[in-house]
Structure 1
Amino acid sequence: MDEKRGQSWVEAEWLDSLDEELEMEIDDQLVARDLAFISDLKHASTVERQVYFHELLRLQAELVKLQDWVQHTGYKLVVLFEGRDAAGKGGVIKRITQRLNPRICRVVALPAPTEREKSQWYFQRYVPHLPAAGEIVLFDRSWYNRSGVERVMGFATPEQVEEFFNDVPEFERMLARSGIKLVKYWFSITDQEQQLRFLMRIHDPLKQWKLSPMDLESRVRWEAYTKAKEETFERTNIPEAPWFIVEGNDKKAARLNCISHLLSLVPYEEVPHEPIALPERVFNPDYERKTLPDELYVPTRY
């Protein structure tokens, strides 16, 4: 194969990969006309787009190295993503997992507990999702629902919340003693920024699914969530599993800062790999490919 043509093909594949990330970003730039009245709330990212893409790809390459090392060494990593609604947790999780093997790095986003789960030990429904050796688990919200939304919305009694605060430090110490590295992130945004993001979701049909009655109610109970957050930090920030706050108003900066920080917490190294050689295809001169009926094929509309 011509070397120049080969390079062009590889470059095209790389640009396609960039386009996938670009598609994720485009909606951040599309502000509905109905939002013109809050134009004073909009702000530009401090990170230039070209710098953002360059750094994101570099960090994602490091995440692949981290993944290889985790699998090779049997390391167990759990990362909790907490914070206010629309603070950017999902966006960071998406960029972390975008180029990783879902068999090694998986996301856990549990729905509201069932009646049966409500009768169990509080941490019981989270335990089955903890990693085995060589796995990474990202919790999109976690057991801290109890000291957050359940507390603020009245789904947990004061006695249950107090029991949680008494139990969670020891639970997390147990995880640490079992060999699990636990990292806890809290994504922080301002009142105005959350308002803007909620309004964008309301006016964007592609994002309305992200809104729930709980999200809307969280606007009303902003100060109650603030108090709950402060007590959570005060009572669960332990040496074995400290909290790390990610400033989330600038989405691009938040993503890069969080991924970079996560990489700094794990002592990973590049794992040597044996060279991979693509074997030649075996051709059987007696084999005749069957003609398949047209109805089996997806129509070529594009």
Structure 2
Amino acid sequence: MSETLKEAKGGKLKSDVKLGNKAYMKELRRLHVELVKMQEWVVHTGAKICIVFEGRDGAGKGGVIKAIMERVNPRVFRVIALPAPTEREKSQMYVQRYLPHLPAAGEVVIFDRSWYNRAGVERVMGFCTEQQAQEFLMAAPLVERAIVHSGVILVKYWLEVNPDEQTRRLEDRIDDGRKIWKLSPMDLESYSRWYDYSKARDEMFAKTDTDFAPWFVVRSDDKKRARLNAISHLLSMVPYESVTRSKVKLPARQKAGGYREPDYPYKLVPELY
């Protein structure tokens, strides 16, 4: 286990007080500016960045990813959230369907769950055999070494939430029409297996937390702090620099030259607000 992971597991939150929205938005704005600087550096230098997000159900992976993506160019930053494998994909080498999504030059790829499905949900829920899980745990560092040696900056995050907060968040989904889609039968079954997931996580860390691709743990009991901490740490993992660009100035708009808006019966959206 890497020293970074030991520190993350043994550290303490700076404050037990929930972060206020005003302070959160101010810091998020600053981090968004830095993400855009990083984006321009990635495009300018042809860097390749791959970010893996794993964690417990309800730990806030989606919220962190949304906060990262809010102000960047989706043509540079791509989010990969693969569905269940097809019958053809099930017959392939396990990591094969993930490899085509790795970044090319000038790209940042974010995996919203990744090849580590095999070490977590597939193993716990019985979608793979124990032998398949063990083979994956042995192979993953070899694959990741090859990814890193190809020039990819690979950053792996595990979001950890305490059981009481997880319960509160999942119960909140039940009563919120905006979030009910997040609560699948699989989530309910997974919820009852807290310690099976804990054991799977622990072995995953022990066998895949390497010097060249370490795991970083984000404590996410406070969603706002988790988002800021994750983005700040990500920025620290990329050696980006500001790229000089010309100052933008809007050109003069052309004159109408006799153009008039047509008298056309547009179907307007009703103004209800």
Both structures adopt the same fold (TM-score exceeding 0.5) = yes
User: Matches of 2:224 and 2:67 in 1, distance apart?
Assistant: 11
2:154 is matched with 182
User: Matches of 1:118 and 1:102 in 2, distance apart?
Assistant: 29
Higher mean C-alpha displacement, 139-148 vs 157-166: 157-166
User: Matches of 1:219 and 1:255 in 2, distance apart?
Assistant: 23
Q: Deviations over 1:94-131 (max 9, x none)?
A: 00000000000111111111111101111111111111
Scaled by the length of structure 2, the TM-score of the pair is 0.91
The residue type equivalent to 2:109 in the other structure is: V
Aligned partner of 1:88 among 60, 65, 79: 60
Aligned partner of 1:140 among 105, 108, 112: 112
The residue type equivalent to 1:240 in the other structure is: F
2:166 is matched with 194
Bigger relative CO (Cα 8 Å, ≥ 6 apart): 2
Q: Which runs of 4+ in 1 moved over 6 A?
A: none
**For the Cα contact (< 8 Å) 1:45–1:251, is it kept in 2?**
no
**For the Cα contact (< 8 Å) 1:45–1:253, is it kept in 2?**
no
Paired residues in the alignment total: 258
Taking only aligned residues, the RMSD between alpha carbons, in angstroms, comes to 1.4
2:204 is matched with 232
User: Matches of 1:217 and 1:115 in 2, distance apart?
Assistant: 24
Matched, 1:206 2:157: no
2:269 is matched with 298
User: Matches of 2:271 and 2:22 in 1, distance apart?
Assistant: 35
> How far is 1:298 from its partner?
3.0
> How far is 1:159 from its partner?
1.6
Matched, 1:124 2:96: yes
The residue type equivalent to 1:288 in the other structure is: Y
1:57 is matched with 29
Q: Specify the structure having the higher radius of gyration (Cα).
A: 1
Matched, 1:97 2:69: yes
SS in structure 1 opposite 2:187?
Answer: helix
Matched, 1:275 2:247: yes
Q: CA 1:235/1:278 → structure 2, altered by over 3 Å: closer, same or farther? A: same
5+ long unaligned stretches in structure 2: 1-15
Identity of aligned residues (%): 57
The residue type equivalent to 2:99 in the other structure is: V
Matched, 1:156 2:128: yes
* Within-5 A mapping of 1:254-269: 254-269=226-241
> How far is 1:293 from its partner?
2.6
Scaled by the length of structure 1, the TM-score of the pair is 0.82
User: Matches of 1:93 and 1:208 in 2, distance apart?
Assistant: 19
Q: Deviations over 1:64-87 (max 9, x none)?
A: 111111111111001000000000
> How far is 1:49 from its partner?
2.3
SS in structure 2 opposite 1:294?
Answer: coil
User: Matches of 1:294 and 1:259 in 2, distance apart?
Assistant: 48
Structure having the larger proportion of residues in helix: 1
2:11 is matched with none
